[in-house]
């Protein structure tokens, strides 16, 4: 069985019809990541996942990660962007040799050829077909046989199956453990019952989501200013700090009234519709809050770092380019030469774009120039470490990197803090700022 995940019904229908026809294989469908994870948890016999990336309620990385930690089934990434662009790490192709990436518009028959090969290699072992019976792992019986609707069987000899329960009869935990003790690994359904149950189960999960699209299992993809603010609040950034930053952004924008281009950049960030804007805004909110904690309210530093947050990534061409924080990243190979050049030089480009604006001073330009330096010296362009960073750079980079981990790498607060420790944010000039950041939540 193949699990197809796409929020577009048309794409799912065409793919599933082609797969069923060409491979004589059953497909079950999900329209979002939570639904897909629920199907993986409850339906035995899925041996391949093919999933779109961008979907409401959270992207397919959630499915990929759940799968990698559980059954690690082959995962086909179907998207307008290559897996590397979508933030799948270098392990994507290593974690399962069958993992593959197809870029939209894709050739359905190319996908089917790959799926056929996977079916040949592993698919046949996933469901145990025997003389009109289908066997599933004994541990999965309870979660699969909803309300004990179907009769269960046990295999006595190669051709002989004996009924264990009738419809409505409970297959108790006690029975499961006693069969397991006797070495029974598989419990069988009549083939028709099995398929009927798969369809009912998938339908039930789909209807539950239609009635109540509760995406609580996966982090919501942000799409508006409100959502960035609620993420900030979730991290412990107060309403007051958010208002303080909003007011400051408003006054920075006002002071740049004579430069319409910069005005437009700030307008775009305020709308917060793309990842670059969201990252700029979350960086600004974090900077506002951490600056206050460090007692910088009155020395003009918040205004400088918040100005830098608004412009530092403004010359990146699109969201994908802001995924890179380290020039040694293996993801770089997915970018064209000119994109790599933009990533390497976007700080200089940003400075050039604000060069003629008197209100923006040297210190703000320096912060922009150094915003990808990291305390362990692996950042760029100069590889400055924690010992050589200035106070304003340490403040900015701590908040910028934290926002990057939260938004781009989807880490929660504690995970981001742990990851930051790995790159020495708790050292040298960064130490105090890092402590203040940690304290916004605790």
Nearer to Fe ion, 28 or 347 (CB): 347
| Nearest-CB residue for Fe ion | 313
Rule CB under 5 A: is residue 364 a binding residue for Fe ion?
no
**In the complex, what is the shortest distance from the CB of residue 429 to Fe ion, in angstroms, rounded to a whole number?**
20
In the stretch 192-221, what mask flags binding to Fe ion with x, by CB under 5 A? ------------------------------
CB nearer Fe ion, residue 29 or residue 370: 370
Compute the least distance from the CB of residue 423 to Fe ion, in Å: 16
Nearest distance in Å: CB 15, Fe ion: 37
Question: 29 or 313, CB closer to Fe ion?
Answer: 313
Q: How far is the CB of 316 from Fe ion (least distance, A)?
A: 7
- Nearer CB in complex with Fe ion: 313/364: 313
Structure tokens at 336: 């064209």
Residue 89 CB neighbour total at 10 angstroms: 16
**Which of residues 238 and 329 has its CB atom nearest to Fe ion in the complex?**
329
**For residues 28-87, which are near Fe ion according to CB under 5 A?**
none
Taking the complex as a whole, the smallest distance from the CB of residue 276 to Fe ion amounts, in Å, to: 9
Minimum distance of Fe ion from residue 371's CB (angstroms): 6
Nearer to Fe ion, 313 or 331 (CB): 313
Q: Which is nearer to Fe ion, 201 or 371 (CB)?
A: 371
Q: How far is the CB of 135 from Fe ion (least distance, A)?
A: 54
Q: Number of residues in contact with Fe ion, rule: CB under 5 A?
A: 1
Interface positions, 282-321, toward Fe ion (CB under 5 A)? 313
Q: In terms of CB distance, is 165 or 315 closer to Fe ion?
A: 315
Residues 6+ apart with CB under 8 A from 81: 53, 103, 320
The least CB distance from residue 350 to Fe ion, in Å, is: 8
Binding site for Fe ion (CB under 5 A): 313
């Amino acid at each position: 069985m193949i699990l197809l995940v796409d929020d577009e019904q048309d794409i799912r229908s065409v793919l599933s019809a082609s797969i069923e026809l060409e491979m004589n294989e059953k497909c079950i469908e999900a329209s979002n990541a939570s639904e897909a994870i629920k199907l993986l948890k409850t339906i035995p016999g899925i041996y391949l996942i093919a999933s779109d990336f961008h979907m409401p309620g959270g992207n397919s990385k959630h499915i990929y990660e759940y799968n990698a930690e559980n059954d690690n089934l082959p995962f086909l990434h179907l998207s307008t962007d290559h897996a590397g662009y979508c933030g799948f790490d270098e392990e994507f192709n290593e974690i399962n040799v069958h993992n593959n990436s197809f870029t939209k518009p894709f050739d359905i028959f190319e996908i089917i050829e790959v799926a056929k090969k996977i079916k040949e290699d592993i698919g046949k072992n996933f469901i145990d077909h025997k003389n009109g019976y289908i066997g599933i792992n004994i541990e999965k019986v309870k979660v699969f046989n909803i309300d004990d609707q179907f009769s269960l069987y046990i295999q006595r000899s190669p051709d002989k199956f004996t009924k264990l329960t009738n419809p409505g009869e409970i297959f108790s935990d006690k029975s499961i453990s006693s069969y397991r003790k006797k070495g029974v690994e598989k419990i069988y359904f009549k083939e028709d019952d099995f398929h009927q149950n798969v369809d009912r189960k998938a339908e039930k999960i789909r209807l539950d989501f239609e009635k109540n699209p509760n995406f609580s299992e996966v982090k919501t993809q942000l799409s508006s200013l409100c959502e960035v603010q609620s993420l900030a609040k979730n991290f412990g950034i107060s309403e007051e700090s958010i208002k303080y930053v909003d007011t400051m952004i408003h006054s920075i924008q006002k002071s740049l009234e004579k430069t319409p281009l910069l005005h437009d950049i700030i307008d775009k960030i305020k709308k917060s519709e793309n990842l670059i804007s969201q990252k700029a805004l979350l960086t600004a909110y974090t900077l506002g809050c951490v600056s206050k904690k460090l007692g910088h309210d009155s020395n003009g530093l918040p205004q400088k770092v918040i100005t830098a947050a608004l412009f530092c990534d403004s010359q990146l061409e699109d969201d994908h380019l802001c995924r890179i924080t380290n020039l040694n990243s293996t993801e770089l190979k997915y970018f064209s030469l000119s994109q790599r050049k933009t990533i390497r030089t976007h700080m200089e480009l940003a400075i050039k774009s604000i060069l003629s604006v008197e209100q923006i001073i040297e210190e703000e330009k320096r912060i922009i120039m150094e915003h990808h330096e990291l305390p362990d010296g692996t950042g760029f362009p100069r590889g400055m470490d924690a010992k050589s960073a200035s106070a304003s750079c340490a403040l900015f980079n701590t908040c910028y990197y934290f926002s990057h981990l939260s938004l781009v790498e989807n880490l929660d607060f504690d995970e981001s803090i742990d990851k930051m420790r790995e790159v020495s944010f708790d050292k040298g000039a960064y130490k105090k700022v890092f402590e203040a950041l940690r304290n916004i939540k605790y």
